[in-house]
Structure 1
Amino acid sequence: MVCVPVLVRDLQRLLGFEQLDARVKELTSSQAELLERIQKLKQEVQNWRSNVETQVRTCQNELQGLKKGLDSEVEQLKLEMKEIRSAIQKEKGNLPTQITTLEMSNNDTEQALQTQDQALKVDTDASMEEQTATQA
């Protein structure tokens, strides 16, 4: 009769091993699923990173193009400002000459007006003398 308890005990051990074996298989399967999910996530992260790097390069290229364009425009504006400054300096240099010319022209105009006024006065005086002579 000692055999029966030993058999029961051996059977229990076998059942325990079967349960352990089933649990190990379950864990192994779960581990494989987890590894597969990790590989997929890793691939997604790599794809995402690659896309982000591409977008960053594209943006950097666009920014470099814009920077070059702005630099060119700034240089053009600097040249234009230099030309304007030169023109202003030239005009400042010509200003005394222009003022003198205007003053001379103004004097000539005033003299011409005075001459016209005198001529009108002479004509008016002559007309008045004629009227007075005709009336007398």
Structure 2
Amino acid sequence: MAAETTAPPPSSSLPPPAAAAAPRHPRLSGFGQLDASVKELTSSQAELLEKIQKLKQEVQNWRSNVETQVRTCQNELQGLKKGLDSEVEQLKLEMEEIRSAIQEEKGNLPAQITNSETSNNDTEQALQTQVQALKVDTDASMEEQTATQP
């Protein structure tokens, strides 16, 4: 369009058919340049659309892979959680059994102490008897030695 405004007006000395042909030629070459630009833009647009579609497909594939990995991790975590829950329940049962055993032992403790005291008393009496027997033996032995001495 800039070519139209800068083109000189047709002179009257030129024949009308030549004057009409001259302005048409620059106008056609402008359309040719415009056509070439449109084709270039169209091909660039097609390339860009193709790149965008490829990128879009890559993003979809990436997202699908990530979702698969997330599901796999979630399943693994759920399995681990179930295993831990089971172990915790087992530990709770074992702790209850230990508590019960401790309570039972606490209940038996006074009886054991009494039995132990009785056993200690019996042991003490046996020891005292042995000590007395040793004293008697020692005293007798001393008397013999004194009697045998001149």
Question: So what's the TM-score if we normalise by structure 1?
Answer: 0.89
Using the alignment, how far apart are the partners of 1:132 and 1:41 within structure 2? 122
Using the alignment, how far apart are the partners of 2:76 and 2:149 within structure 1? 98
Using the alignment, how far apart are the partners of 2:121 and 2:140 within structure 1? 28
Using the alignment, how far apart are the partners of 2:128 and 2:47 within structure 1? 114
Task: Give the CA deviation at 1:69.
Answer: 1.1
Using the alignment, how far apart are the partners of 2:105 and 2:133 within structure 1? 40
Number of aligned positions between the proteins? 124
Using the alignment, how far apart are the partners of 2:94 and 2:147 within structure 1? 73
Using the alignment, how far apart are the partners of 2:28 and 2:83 within structure 1? 81
Which is bigger in relative contact order (C-alpha 8 A, separation at least 6)?
2
Task: Give the CA deviation at 1:78.
Answer: 0.5
Using the alignment, how far apart are the partners of 2:41 and 2:119 within structure 1? 110
Task: Give the CA deviation at 1:133.
Answer: 1.4
Task: Give the CA deviation at 1:108.
Answer: 0.3
SS in 1 for 2:49: helix
Choose which of 109, 112, 124 in structure 1 pairs with 2:123: 109
In structure 2, runs of 5+ residues without a counterpart are 1-26
Using the alignment, how far apart are the partners of 1:117 and 1:102 within structure 2? 22
- Whether 1:69 aligns to 2:83 is yes
Using the alignment, how far apart are the partners of 2:142 and 2:58 within structure 1? 114
Q: Deviations over 1:12-61 (max 9, x none)?
A: x1011111111111111011001100110000000000100011011101
**Structure 1 vs Structure 2: percent identity of aligned residues?**
90
Using the alignment, how far apart are the partners of 1:129 and 1:22 within structure 2? 147
Q: Deviations over 1:71-125 (max 9, x none)?
A: 1111111011101100100000000000000000000011001000110011111
Using the alignment, how far apart are the partners of 2:140 and 2:124 within structure 1? 24
- Whether 1:30 aligns to 2:36 is no
Using the alignment, how far apart are the partners of 2:34 and 2:95 within structure 1? 88
Q: Extract structure 1 runs of 4+ deviating beyond 3 A.
A: none
Using the alignment, how far apart are the partners of 2:98 and 2:67 within structure 1? 46
Q: What is residue 32 of structure 2 aligned with on the other side?
A: 18
Using the alignment, how far apart are the partners of 2:49 and 2:140 within structure 1? 127
Using the alignment, how far apart are the partners of 2:72 and 2:55 within structure 1? 25
Question: So what's the TM-score if we normalise by structure 2?
Answer: 0.81
Structure ranking higher in helix proportion: 1
Using the alignment, how far apart are the partners of 1:33 and 1:70 within structure 2? 55
